[in-house]
Amino acid sequence: MKEKKNSTSSRRSIRMILISIAVVPVVLLGVILTISNLRNLRMSMEVKTSDSLDIAANSLYNTYSMISPGDYEMKGDILYKGDLRLTGNFEVVDALKESYKLDLSLYYGDTRILTTILDENGSRAIGSRASEEVKHWVLKSNKEYFSKNVVIGSRRYYGFYVPMLNRDGSVVGMAFAGIPASAVSRSWNAGMVKSIIISVVALLITLLLCLTLNRQITNALTAIQKYLGGLASGNFDMKMPINVRNRQDEIGDMGRYAIEVCNELELKITTDPLTGLLNRRACNAKLQKILDHCNKDETARATVCIGDIDFFKRVNDTYGHECGDIVLKKVSEILKKEMNGEGIVARWGGEEFLVVFPMHVDDVIPKLNEILWKIRSFKFNYDGYDPFNVTMTFGVNGRVWDMSMDEVIKEADRCLYDGKETGRNRIVVFDGRVVLSDGTVTTMKQETEQETEKIKQAMQS
């Protein structure tokens, strides 16, 4: 009997050891992931709240700018925007509050003139003033400002302030969007409970199945851990194993959530927010891979082009930066559409774009010329101005073998510079060819000679 008891005790001890080996790492990982998720949830909620308030505050500012283009001016105790009386006119702020489900205010200086916020007596909280910190950042420094500690009466708000400018560029007030901190806390608490519940359920299921599914679970968690580790180190090329993606349980959800996070993070890191094209950092990485492939495979072809919108500063100066953004987005749209998912299209900086075609330069020229024709042909209609067109100049480098990426880009940039210097609205190729806007092909030598002759004639006259 004694031996049997010892034997049973021994078996239980081994079982506990196996359970400990299986459970402890899973529990620790669950705790770590839960803490990380809660932290990320808090950060994500604050970012989401800030973005929502940003949009609402700018919408309030832009709405008044559209309905009355004049300056903000205080006449006596009455605030006007152009000919529009603002004091006592709550129609716009109330309508936007109904749309955004957020509280809105309009300040003149540091004083709240219009608002949807009610005080303890149920009256609109008009006349309250902004804090010194808000005045410093918004009114004095002309910067948008997000605060998690806006106190209005006895209530605390998350708030976003946008400086309001008159036509002379002076800051005369602020547009404000806010949400009670208690509402944000309720959302955070609900998300926290949900996250914790999911984590606890996952751990309980793991505990119940650990004896029979220990190996599979361990392998799956290891795969997710490696994936998240690669993501943390900036490696977006890692693939989640298919056996993890196909799991119909919490671990599979974790793997798919990680993929979604990776995709969203990669999009934010690699994409230009205005145009939706690749940004410079992502473009460099992709271009380096293409150049490495070309150097390894003699049959591979690539042509690197740098384009610049001609006289883009004139567009901004004439029509405003909002119109300039419209031009950038339309040009990006045309470039992306015409590339049809092949090669690379990236915003290189400002009004410059880098385009990489996976083909020989002789095949690129007619295709690029067609793209430029579509850009030149598009008429921009903006805010009542006469329709206008833009043109682009491109430098093209089809010599990519045995050259560093900097050298390849520098050569394309040199061609772009030559195109700018000799008249713009053209394509300049690394071998000296120049394709004019009408499709005529000439050479840099001829263009330089013509430019020199023009200068001589101008000096003589």
- Does the pLDDT value for residue 9 go beyond 90? no
| Residue that is last in its domain, among 132, 154, 185 | 185
The residue ranges of DSSP E strands in 232-343, in sequence order, are: 303-309
What is the average pLDDT across 255-280? 84
The verdict on 166 and 289 lying in the same domain is no
Asked if the structure places residue 111 within a domain, the reply is yes
Residue 158 makes CB contacts below 8 A (sequence gap 6+) with 46, 49, 50, 53, 146, 147, 148, 150, 178, 179, 180, 181, 184
Neighbour count for residue 81 (Cβ, 10 Å): 20
Single pTM value for the model: 0.49
The token duo for 452 is 């020199």
Assess if residue 8 is contained within a domain: no
Whether residues 160 and 51 share a domain: the answer is yes
My answer on whether 307 and 170 are in the same domain is no
Question: Nearest 5°: phi and psi at 133?
Answer: -65, -45
At 234, the pLDDT band (50, 70, 90 cuts) reads low
Q: In this structure, what are the phi and psi dihedrals at residue 185, rounded to the nearest 5 degrees? A: -65, -40
**Tokens read off for 374:** 């579509």
pLDDT interval class at 122 (50, 70, 90): confident
Q: What is the pLDDT of residue 293?
A: 92
**Does residue 332 share a domain with residue 441?**
yes
Q: Are strands 392-397 and 427-429 parallel, antiparallel or unpaired?
A: parallel
CATH of the domain at 294: 3.30.70.270
How many angstroms separate the CA atoms of 12 and 14, rounded? Answer: 5
Distance CA 357, CA 339 (A): 8
Is it the case that residue 6 has pLDDT exceeding 80?
Answer: no
pLDDT band at 233 (very low <50, low <70, confident <90, very high): low
Tell me, yes or no, whether 123 lies in a domain. yes
pLDDT of 5: 46
170/305 same-domain check: no
pLDDT over 80 (residue 211): no
Highest mean pLDDT among 3-17, 33-47, 271-285: 271-285
Query: Residue 396: which domain range?
Result: 280-460
In a domain, 226, yes or no: no
In a domain, 15, yes or no: no
**Alpha helices by DSSP H, 379-443:** 405-421
The whole-angstrom separation of Cα 148 and Cα 179 is: 10
| Residue 119 belongs to domain with CATH number | 3.30.450.40
Q: Which of 251-260, 280-289, 406-415 has the lowest mean pLDDT?
A: 251-260
Do residue 163 and residue 309 come from a single domain? no
What would the 3-class secondary structure string for 78-116 be? Answer: EEEECCEECCCCCHHHHHHHHHHCCEEEEEECCEEEEEC
What pLDDT, on a 0 to 100 scale, did the predictor assign at position 320?
94
Look at residues 136, 160, 185 and tell me which one is the last residue of a structural domain. 185
- 7: in domain: no
Instruction: Tell me: pLDDT of 16 over 60.
Output: no
Q: What angle do CA 393, 394, 400 make, to 5 degrees?
A: 165
Q: How far apart (Å, rounded) are the C-alpha atoms in residues 394 and 417?
A: 9
- CB proximity list for 138: less than 8 A, separation 6 or greater: 130, 144, 145, 161, 162, 163, 171, 174
Give domain status of residue 433, yes or no: yes
The reported pLDDT for the residue numbered 309 is 97
Digit-coded pLDDT (tens) for 25-52: 767 777 777 787 778 878 888 899 999 9
Do 303 and 173 sit in the same domain of this protein?
no
- Decide which of 209 and 222 is more confident: 222
Per-residue model confidence as pLDDT tens digits over 335-381:
999 998 889 999 999 999 999 999 999 999 999 999 999 999 999 99
The residue ranking higher by pLDDT, 58 or 42, is 58
pLDDT given for residue 392 in this prediction = 97
Residue 392 located in a structural domain: yes
298: confidence class by pLDDT, cuts 50, 70, 90: confident
Per-residue pLDDT reduced to its tens digit, 131-174 = 999 999 999 999 999 999 999 888 899 999 999 999 999 999 99
Per-residue pLDDT at 358: 93
Three-class secondary structure of residue 401 per DSSP: coil
Q: Tell me, yes or no, whether 177 and 300 share the same domain.
A: no
pLDDT of residue 69: 86
**Do both 394 and 284 map to the same domain?**
yes
Confidence band (pLDDT; 50, 70, 90) for 3? very low
Indicate the pLDDT class of residue 207, thresholds 50, 70 and 90. low
Total domains in the chain come to 2
- Residue 291 and residue 180 share a domain: no
Q: Final residue of a domain: which of 166, 185, 204?
A: 185
- Mean pLDDT of all residues in 400-423: 93
Determine the residue type at 363.
D
- Are residues 176 and 288 both part of a single domain? no
Q: What is the pLDDT of residues 68-86, one digit of tens each?
A: 889 999 998 999 999 899 9
pLDDT category at 288 given cuts 50, 70, 90 is very high
